Structure formats: C-alpha cells, structure tokens
Structure 1
C-alpha cells in the first residue's frame, strides 16, 4: 500500500520499488530505454505558487510537465476542485451579504442623525466642524467594530481549528497574518465607501429641518451612491477571489438580477394591494403600508430576496455536492477490479458472481491498440524538437502517446452519455465512439475517421458519436468503444469491477481459484482515502455555511431596523385615529409576512436559475430543479421576516400614543 500512489488504477498501481543503488544491477535501463523522473514538492500554497511561477518559464514543454493535486480527473481531484469552488463561491456570497449589512447600517446611522445635524447648524456649527465630528465618530465606530470582529474571528478560528483537528486526528496550522489583514481591509473599505454618500447627505441637512421634519439633504447625486456601492462590492469580490473574470461575472449577473428582482417586487406589491383591498381591515392596512412605501419596500425586498437567495444557494449547493459525492461513492461502490479474464471464462465468472451474490459491473473485452491516423494525418506518440515543425505545419498531429485499451459493446455503458452524434444501435457497419475529453484534446469530431493498428492489422473507421464518461465512478471507462462487428474477431481478455464486503475478503482466494489468469486490484485504500477527504471537506463546508447564514441574518435584521423610524410615525397617526393595538400588531405582522413571502418567492426563482448555471458551468454537475424549495422558499421567507419584523416592532406596539409622540420629539 502506497499512500501517495494516486488514483489512476491501471497506470500507477501496482508498482515495483527498487533501491536506486541496485538499479544498474537489474539491467532494466538500456540504451534506448525511456525513463521518466518525478520530483515531489511540498509547501504552503503560496510557496508552491511562487515556485511554479518561477519554474515553468524554465521548463521545456516537450520534455517537462508540472502537475498538482488539482490536476487530472481523479475522484480526489474532482472532490477537491469542487470543494474549492464552493468555498470560493460561499466566501464571495458571504462578503456580499456582510457588505450589504454594513451599507444598510451606515444609511440608518446617518438618517438617525439628521435632526442632530440640523440642531448643530442652528447653534452655529459649520459644515467643516460637523464633518470632523461625524467622520471622527464613524472612524471610532469602525475601529471598535473591526477590533471586535478580529477578536471574534480569532476566537472562532481557534475553536474551529481545535475542533477540526480533533475530528481529523491531525494538527492544523494556525492562521497567518493575511486573513487578519484582509479582514481589517474589508472592514475599513466597507465602512468608508458605504458611508460616503449617506455622510454627504447628512452634512447637507438644512437648519430648517428643525421646523420642517420632512426636509432632507441633497439627493441630486444619487448615482454617486450606486457607483460607490457597486465599485466597493466589485473591489471586494476581486480582492477575495483574485480572479477578475469570476468577480466580473458575479457582479454583472448580480446587477442584472437585482434589476429584475426590483421590477418583480414592484409588480407583486401592486398586485398584493389590489388583492388585500378585498380582505379584512388588518390586511387592508398592511397592503396600504406596502403600497405607500413601495419604493423603500422594493429596496428592502431586494435585500431580503438577495439574503434568502444566497442562503438557499449555499445550503442547496452544499447538499447537492455532498449528495453527488455520495452517489459517486455509495456503500456498495466497486472495490475490486478483475483484469486479464480469459474469454472462455467470462460465463463462469458471471455465474460465480450470481452464485455468491456479488454485485459486479458489465464485463468488457480489452484489446490493446494504437490510433495511428486522424483523417489521414499521421499521429505521433511524442512531440520532440525534431518533429515539432511538422506538427505546427499540420503534416503530423500529436497522438495519445501510448497504446489504448479498446473495447466493444452494443449498448451505451451505464456511466456514459452520448453528447454528440448517435449510437450505432443495429447498424453493423464499422464505427467507433470517442470519449469527449480525448476528442477535444485531439480535435476529433463526429464524421472524422480514425485509423487503428491492432497487432499489425490496420483498419480505418468513422467516428459516429462522442461520449461523456464519469471517470470518478470507479467503473471501467474507455476512450474508444467500437460496435461489436468491428472487433469481435480479435482475441481479447476481459475486465470487470465488483464489490465485496470487507468481512468476505478472506474468500477472494477461493472465489478466484478457478480463474488463475485473472489479476485483482484492490481499490479499498483508494476509496477510503477519497471518503476521508470528502468527510474533511464536509466539515469545512459546514462552518462556511454557518458564517454565510450569520451574514444573511445580519442583512435581514439591518433592513428591518432601517424602517423603524417611519413605522413609528405611522403608529402615532394610526393610534391618534383610534386604531387598536391588536389591529396594528396584526397589520405589521401581515405586512412583514407579505414582504417575506414575496422575497422568498423571488429568491427561490433566482436561486434555481443560479444553481442551473453553477451546476453546469462551475461544478460540472447534472442540473436539477429543486421543486420542493418553491414551497419552502416563500414559507420560510415569510416566517423569518415576519418574526424579525414582529420582534423589532414589538416595543413600538406596546407603547401608548403619548410615549410614541415623546420618542419622536
């Protein structure tokens, strides 16, 4: 057992290990032998990236290659790549949510100080003096907030590292200074950029507001707020992802979605008002409030929808990732490969599997062969300096560089899907199906012709289909599959995979005693390592999910708090007109219930559309519709927003009219 053997069953295992000082005595290396040397490097991601950037320009592409654990299409690489993409996506969405909460809080802070600025100006304070007061105040608030955030982050990170280390049975490195520097930069950038426009309006509050409370500051440069907010979010996306194209795609897509969500929100608010007019008095009051604050409610609904959508997106994406990993590695996944099975023993092997109740995949014939020509152009195994010019001129093309294991069958393999062309069905004419990735590498298309050499016999067949194979299924997969009539006359050995419970391993010798020519490859070590990695990644994903949910909750709470002052004014008027506390309580609950339900519905639509793109374009998964969430989304949104709104307004509802008026004054 070699822990670092890799996951290519047929090329990496089994190996023969020989002491280097005794290599010459074996006589294995002779003039003309082809020898490859591998050098392994370990270090932090930054060290490896820096070394790679320094090394690659000095390598010769003809003879050197650089590979990392993320390269290739092994189950481990796929699991790590998907996990890394999820972490990146979740962290970016968490940053957007947190930045939104900061923006709402900054707006609310400035609005609450409109009267204070008006009073300062009536007492003779100038703009410069007021600016210094509030800038200093905001800087102190920001500094304290960043300090508290750093302390909380350090405490949570320390706990998480200790807990994860206990779960994994291994020590983990402490965080470097970079996350703390990034956190401080994020806090300062968000506080400054999201506060600039509200602070500008705050300072421009006229002194007459003391007499006319409806007067506010300058709104002529409203576009400045959108530029500052949008630029800040985009900058944070780039700062965290270090990938401008991903950040641009998320930002543009998010901006487009925000516009659509605003439009849908306004339409639903209008429709809700018409329907609410036919309902009871509490519903009519709630719908009137929605319509009266249509502009503010649309923005509030956008924040609610964004927060709910991102939370649903992270939760569903996590569940889909884990489910996809479990589908790849179910409890009964094949854990043995049987190779070199004689053709005359295939029926006996099937009978043995059936008799012993062993679940096995199909038995595939294997014939070694080479692809020699593509559309009549010769393919070469190695591109050297001598033949590089011929390749560049198109006289020759780069091939697979080795013999391939060729097979045939009448039906599409269970873990394959035809993505281009058509399967042959009953057509007995010679033809071949090519795996999609191999076809892309050699630029093979449906309708092209390929020439093969099998044991000195050369023949040419057309490509009639391209297949997408699941290379992480731990089942036999092939680059080239022929129809039966093309290769049936060639002698072949067979391959299959099967699952045998660990408690039955002692039976292997007796089970395969009638098949002495067969070779067995044990995959249990590989499967166990993949499951261990997936388990570790799942723990990390859980903590990321919790942090994103906290950020989403902050957005919801900040948005509810932002409307408190206006609602207080409405309560004073309604109480003065004789509205009972019960009526007001119900109307507020219904209003937040409708806001949450509409936000949940919009969030569900946006979430499913986003998942469709993420699953197919980012995570290389099959797209699935989550129809249950079309019910869960609106209900959960209505319940969560209604509870938050009801709790936030409970103190206002309990106060009498005199108390409310005194609080306003």
Structure 2
C-alpha cells in the first residue's frame, strides 16, 4: 500500500496535479515560519534592549542589604552579577547645599546598556563598567551646575570629601525611575562606610543586577520568588517603566497580527487547491470504485498521499522560512543596536504542526468526499463532487486553527477580533456573490457581444463564482488589512509620541510658585505647560473592607496595595486618557474617583465600588464613577486615580508638569533650576528615544513581514483562478470549435474575471477598513481616521489581478487546437 501511495503521489507531482496545493503549503508554512522566527528574534532583541532600562536582564530590589547566599546561588547558575546601593543625601560645596541621588556601583555595572562618562568637560565620553576610583565621584551636569563646581573640584558627602573625576553623560537605568527627586552622584561602594551615611534605619535601596542565559534566569527566578520577603521585589524589563511596557505590548500585537494574517492566507490557499484537486480526481476515483476499490481503501490512499505531501511540503516550507528569516536578519543587521539573537526551535516545531493541521483540516475533507463518488460517474461525467456540510468539515479545522493562532499571537482578544472580522467579511462576500449570480441570470449571452458572454458565465457557474469571489475577496482583505496596519495604524502609533512630546518633568513645584513659574515660561517665550496638583495616598479600603496585600495573589496587585498612589484632581480629563465606562464629573460639587482600567483590573475594582484613600492621616472616600485607559507611552503627566476639584483638600499639595525642551535650549533649563532651586527636573529624553526606537523597529519589521503576506496572497489568487480553470478551458475550446475568435474569448474571460475582481476588491476594502478601525479602537488604543485611497486601489487591483490571471490561466486554449483541449 505504501509503495502504491508513493508511486501515485510521485506521478501526480510530476504531472503537475498537486503543484498548486504543494506551492500553497510551502508558501504558507514558509511565510508563517519566517515571520514567526523573525518576530521571535526581533522580540528577543527588543526585550533585551528594554533590559537596558534596568541595566540588567533581571534584578532583585530590596530595602535592606541582600543575603550573600543569593549572590552565590546566582553565580552558581552561571549568571553575571553587579550591585548598586542608592539613597538620597545632601551634598556640600562651600556654602551651597544640594540634594543628590547617591548611587554606589560595583564592577560590571551596567550589565545591559551603556554608562557613558566624560573624564572632564572637554573630553568625549567613554563607556565604563568599573566604578569611580576610591576617593572620587562622578556627577550629573545638573548637580555640577547647581553647586557651581567643575571637574577636578572637591565635594563633601557625609563625613568624607571626594574629587569630581567625571561627568555622567548617560546612565542606562536612570529612565527606569521617573520620579527620582535629585540629580545623580555615583561613587565606589568601598567609600560608603567612610561617609557615615548608611546606619541602622537608613533608607536605601539595594539592587542585585543579573544577566545571562534566558534558561538560567528562569531557574533563578523560580528559586528566588519563594525567598522574597516584605520590601523585596523581583523586576524584569517589563516592570521597569509603564511607558516601555505599553510600547512592548503594542509591538507584540502588531507582530503577532502579521503572523496571524499570513497563516489565514495559507489556509485559504490550501482549501482552494484541495477542492480543485478533488474535482480533478472524480474520474479516477470512479474508475477505482468500478474495479472493486472499497471506500476505506480510497480513504487510506488519499489520506496517505496527503500526510506524505504535508510532511514533505512542511519541511520544505520550514527550510524556506528559516533561510528567508536569516536573509532578512542579515539585511537588517545594521539597524539594530545589537546582533539579533539566534532563533529557537519552537517556531519551527509550531510551523510543522501548523502545516500538518492546516493541510489535514482544510484539504482532507474534500478528499474524503471522494470515497462517496458513485461508480456511475464513469458513464455520467457530469456528476459533481459528493457534497458534505461545510460546517461539519471545516468547523473542527477552524477551531483548531483559531486555537493555534491565539497561542502564537499570545493574545485571545487579538485572535477573536480578527477571526470575527474575517467571519463577517466572509459572510458579506458570500451574500454579495449569491446576489450577484442571481442578478446576472437575467443577462443573456446572445447578441454577439463577448462581454455579455463573460457576465453570463458568472451566473452559469454560481457555486464556482461564489467560491472565487469569496476567496479572492478574503485574500485581498487580509493583504489590505496588513497594508493598513503597516501604514495607518503604525503611523497613528508613531503620532502618539511626536517630536515635541514632553521630554522634561518638573516636580516638587509649590503652590506659591505656580504664578512665578508660568511668568518665567512666558518671559522666556516658552509655551506654558499644564500644571497638575499631586498628593500621595495609600489605598485604605474597598467597599468598606480594609485592603490587605496578602489577600491578592498577583504580585502587581500586592505591590500596588503596598505603595502610595500619586493622586490628582482636575476638571477636564487629560488628552492622553480615554473614558471606557462611567462618566466624567460635570458638577463642581460632585465626588468620585476616576481609575485607570489596568489598575482597576489588577485590584478587582469595578464601576460603582467605594474606594477610601488615607491621605496625610485622613481618609477620603468616594465611589468609582469612571474607568479610563491611559496612553502611558505619550509621556504626558498621567495618574492612576483622579478626583474632582475640592475632594482632596485635606493636605497641601505639590505640583507637577511636563514640557518639551528643544535641543540647544539647555541654558533655559539651567536658569529655571537656578531661579527655582527647590524644583527638580527629570530628563526623560533618553527614555523617549528608546521607545521611539522600539516603534521604528516594529514598523520596519511589519514592512518586511508584509512581503511574505503578499506572497501568500498571490498564492490565494492563483488557487482561486485554478479552481475553475478546467471548466474555463473546456468552455473556451468548445467556443473555438463553434467558430468564436480568440479576441472574443479573451474579452469574455477578461470581463468575467474583472467583474469578480472589482466586487472582491471593493468588499475587501470595506472589510479591511472596518477590522482596522476595530483593532485600533479596541486593541491598540489608537485613533484611526481611515484612508480613502484604499478604495480605488483595491478596486483597480482586484480588476487587474483577476483579469490578468484569467487570461494567463486559459492562454493555452488560444494556442492549441480545440480538439486537443477537449480530449
């Protein structure tokens, strides 16, 4: 049996019977695998880049010194280590005092990213992985200016004096703590005891930085978690900043969506090719039935062929995808900060699984229907392929494929939205195609006009026309959707972080400084930023029940309960926020809380719940009146919890604002800090550049991924044209026998396919626009304005592609004698 299956499979491959199906499988698996491999490598690189904001791959943060046993265990697991100790202290230069963020670093810091230090103001910066020499310190320019010092001068810290030996130009994990309240001073940890600043009860933050192999990091993560105590946290790249987390989440969704649409196109192409293959084997199957072959034997033959074809085609597709992603990585090597990490085996195994599941799920059902072919077809060749319920044969495949899509995209919401959009588009295409064939039944082919014959052909083969229109429309819709994602949605994402987005935060602004600060901005011809009040409070109770960190299982929820919230009040909602439920206050005497949706989900807070915050020894209680989403990567001033004006008048507030400082305006900032000595400036420009870098790399990745998806779309188009090729060739040969000219046949075919292509193009544009708008609103949190150019482009593309494919598909009938084609 196996030998017979192999011989028949080889014979049909050699004769071209299975070439379209094999091509669809190879392109589908190759496109998906190349996308999955490249996306995985890009994601690993972006996560590694995100680790620069921690200066490590993983870190343990503690309010007390960390046990030596933890460090030895990490070393035993093959991890690299570095340590930092941070605290705030006053520095002294002559009669000038200034608060500083002191940070003692060990050799090896940073493990990720760059620490750039200029030895003197006149020398270029150099990367360093060793601490300052004993007796010397490095300062940020801001601290140097405030104290009126220069490199080489002395500065007093605690009971010790140090020489300023360098300027800190770039510190990788500086952006990971937005609300640090003073400029940086970096020192050697061996000098700490002499300062006398760290004693029993001193407030300091101890960090153990780790880097190394991902598996070793996971082993350490599992080992350390049960040993963490109160005041200790385990942080990864995603925990460093909410702005970066938001960017990475969007990146994953964009790249996951690209993989998703490639796989959908592969499934459509395979289903179309398999249906044509089954129809072409009706006669052979009927002959086998006449010779005594049982249904079970026919099932084994075609199932065996399909499995062998699936295994071979999937392996070729895997090799193709692996080579393509290497070529792509080589082309983009210079655009990434570091070399892309090597791929893992998981995408290859998943690609093989998807190839087999897709082929079996979408190609096996029509082949199984062949076993019901009646032997009578040997005499009556007009008998069609036995019918099976499409829901019954494709339903399980769709369920399995949807599960694989959700697993690969790691996002059920993304998969659900795209799947529902595809289903809606499929239903609309089917309905329109059915209505079109019904309407064209009134068109008579008589009159000698070839275009009438082309329109009549659509109605004469209603089922074939419906299948072609649906397949082409669905394929075009997916390609257009990816184009919209690559252009409109990614541009909208980039627009959330424009060039003039705020890159400096001012904190510790006092109430009596509001008017002078606005006056200062006005006098210096700078736009006056919006200034927000801020008080700190701890969540006290939820619906009258005191909150307890131990009652929450999620680490993030525990951390939120243990920390103090930055609370604010305002009349109008910030522009970077969007209301998702409830209402914003519309009365000056209204009380309530507006809570960010993510934190509400983490803490189990719902609309209408009563929250009580403890602020300066007093409790403020109100109902949750609205939930908001916050664009954290906009770098605007944002808050988890907001109240209406007047509700938080229980303590004196400080104020915070953010503004854009153009390059070359450093003198303005220096004058501002000198004039308002208590105000602290936070420069987040470096962090913004990192987020922009992630956005640019995602956009570049999606642009290249779209090439693979376009290739898969062309296979769908080829399969759709091939699905009715046999009938078209036979009809064209009969027309030539009856005296029709080549030009008339060509015109009829072009008319038929161009009409199908035009309708498919318009409906594809509609479906792609609606799905893109849905994804932008519900998934990516972006504003989608739509794009008018997609309608004419889709219409013309559909007409040209289908028209050209139809002519190319039957070109042989215009070159060979009709008798040869019929026989």
C-alpha separation between the residues in 2 aligned to 1:505 and 1:639? 57
Given that 2:247 and 2:633 are in contact with CA atoms closer than 8 Å, whether structure 1 keeps it comes out as no
Q: Contact conserved, 2:620 with 2:648, CA < 8 A, in 1?
A: no
Give 3-state SS (helix, strand or coil) of 2:659's partner. Answer: strand
Q: Deviations over 1:207-240 (max 9, x none)?
A: 7656543245654687764357546645653674
Which of 443, 461, 464 is matched with 1:296 structurally?
Answer: 464
The 1:413–1:148 alpha-carbon spacing in structure 2 relative to 1, beyond 3 Å, is closer
Q: CA deviation at 1:405?
A: 3.6
Match of 2:508, SS state, is strand
Query: Per residue, is there more strand in 1 or in 2?
Result: 2
Q: CA deviation at 1:565?
A: 0.6
Asked whether the 8 Å contact 1:375–1:449 carries over to 2, the reply is yes
Q: Aligned runs of 1:28-43 on 2, under 5 Å?
A: 38-42=207-211
CA contact (8 A) 1:452 1:458 kept: yes
Q: 1:540 aligns with which of 682, 701, 720?
A: 701
Aligned to 1:552: 713
- The range that moved more, 249-258 or 476-485, is 249-258
RMSD: 4.3
1:237 matched to 2:405? The reply is: yes
Render the CA deviation track for 1:93-122: whole Å, top value 9, x for unaligned: 211211322232233334344455667788
Cα distance in 1, alignment partners of residues 243 and 412 from structure 2: 28
Aligned to 2:450: 282
Counterparts of 1:417-436 in structure 2, within 5 Å, are 417-425=578-586, 427-428=588-589, 433-436=594-597
Q: Does 1:655 align with 2:815?
A: yes
**TM-aligned CA distance change 1:98 to 1:613, over 3 Å:** same
Number of residue equivalences: 650
Identify which of 577, 587, 591 aligns with 1:416: 577
Q: 1:646 aligns with which of 799, 807, 810?
A: 807
Distance in 2 (alpha carbons) for counterparts of 1:133 and 1:422: 64
Structure 2 residue 796 is the aligned partner of structure 1 residue 603: no
Q: CA deviation at 1:597?
A: 2.1
For the 8 Å contact 1:5–1:12, the answer to whether it is kept is: no
What is the match of residue 567 of structure 1? 728
Question: Relative to 1, partners in 2 of residues 1:109 and 1:355: Cα closer, same or farther, differing over 3 Å?
Answer: same
Equivalent residue for 2:753? 592
- Give the 3-state SS of the residue equivalent to 1:508 in structure 2: helix
Aligned-partner SS, 1:326 = helix
What is the aligned partner in structure 1 of residue 482 from structure 2?
314
CA contact 2:270–2:362 (8 Å) conserved in 1: yes
- What aligned pairs does 1:216-255 form with structure 2 within 5 A after superposition? 218-219=386-387, 225-226=393-394, 229-230=397-398, 233-234=401-402, 236-237=404-405, 240-241=408-409, 254=422
Q: Say whether the 8 Å CA contact 1:431–1:482 is kept in structure 2.
A: yes
Cα contact 1:7–1:74 (8 A) shared by 2: no
* Residues 211, 439 of structure 1: alpha-carbon distance in 2 compared, 3 angstrom cutoff: closer
Q: Does 1:526 align with 2:687?
A: yes
Unaligned regions of 5+ residues in structure 1, if any?
A: none
Shift of 1:403: 3.8
Shift of 1:599: 1.8
Matching of residue 183 in structure 1 with residue 183 in structure 2? no
**In the TM superposition, what are the counterparts of 1:64-463 in structure 2 within 5 Å?**
65-71=233-239, 74-115=242-283, 145-146=313-314, 148-200=316-368, 211-215=379-383, 218-219=386-387, 225-226=393-394, 229-230=397-398, 233-234=401-402, 236-237=404-405, 240-241=408-409, 254=422, 258-274=426-442, 281-370=449-538, 372=540, 377-378=545-546, 383=549, 400-425=561-586, 427-428=588-589, 433-442=594-603, 454-456=615-617
Cα distance change, pair 430–557 in 1 and its aligned pair in 2 (3 A): closer
Q: Compare 324-333 and 258-267 and name the one that shifted more.
A: 258-267
Q: Aligned runs of 1:3-18 on 2, under 5 Å? A: 3-10=172-179
Deviations 1:42-61 (A, max 9, x none): 45666656765x45884669
Asked if structure 2 preserves the Cα contact closer than 8 Å seen for 1:93 and 1:310, the reply is yes
Q: In the alignment, is the contact (CA less than 8 A) between 2:413 and 2:779 conserved in 1?
A: no
Deviation at 1:334, TM superposition (A): 1.2
Give CA deviations for 1:247-282 in whole Å, capped at 9, x if unaligned. 677667755653453233212332355589999933
Deviation of 1:325 after TM superposition, in Å, equals 2.6
Give the Cα separation in 1 of the matches to 2:309 and 2:592. 72
- Native 8 Å contact 1:107 1:195 kept in 2: yes
Q: Residue by residue, what CA displacement relative to the aligned partner does 1:388-417 show, whole Å, maximum 9, x if unpaired?
A: 6xx99xxxx997434444444333333334
**How far off its partner does 1:637 sit?**
2.6
Call closer, same or farther: CA 1:238–1:427 in 2, change over 3 Å: closer
Distance 1:135 1:404, change over 3 A: closer
Give, in angstroms, the shift of residue 567 of structure 1.
0.6
Cα deviation 1:528-586 (Å, max 9, x = unaligned): 11111222222222222211111111111111112111011221233334433333222
Question: For the residues of structure 2 that align with 1:569 and 1:307, how far apart are their CA atoms?
Answer: 27
Q: Counterpart of 1:2? A: 171
Displacement of 1:75 = 2.4
TM-aligned CA distance change 1:38 to 1:591, over 3 Å: farther
Q: Distance in 2 between matches of 1:285 and 1:510?
A: 82
TM-score between the two structures when normalised by the length of structure 2: 0.68
Give the match for residue 822 of structure 2: 664
Contact 1:379 1:398 (8 Å CA) reproduced: no
631-640 or 559-568, which deviates more = 631-640
Q: Is the 8 A contact 1:560 1:644 kept in 2?
A: yes
CA distance in 2, matches of 1:42, 1:585: 66
Q: Given the superposition, is the C-alpha separation of residues 145 and 490 from structure 1 closer, same or farther in structure 2, using an over 3 Å criterion?
A: closer
Distance 2:240 2:774 in 1: 23
Query: Which of the two has greater helix per residue?
Result: 1
Distance in 2, Cα, partners of 1:486 & 1:297? 66
**Are positions 1:500 and 2:668 aligned together?**
no
CA change 1:226–1:540 in 2 (3 A) is: same
The range that moved more, 595-604 or 108-117, is 108-117
| Distance in 2 of aligned mates of 1:448 and 1:177 | 47
CA distance in 1, matches of 2:396, 2:591: 64
1:517 alignment counterpart: 678
For residues 296-330 of structure 1, what are the alpha-carbon distances to aligned partners after superposition, in whole Å with 9 as ceiling and x for unaligned?
Answer: 22122221122112112222223344223322211
Tell me the distance in 2 between the aligned counterparts of 1:490 and 1:128. Answer: 83
Residue 95 of structure 1 contacts residue 236 of structure 1 at CA under 8 Å; is this kept in 2?
Answer: no
How many Å separate the matches in 2 of 1:45 and 1:357?
51
User: What is the CA-CA distance between 1:638 and the residue it aligns to?
Assistant: 2.9
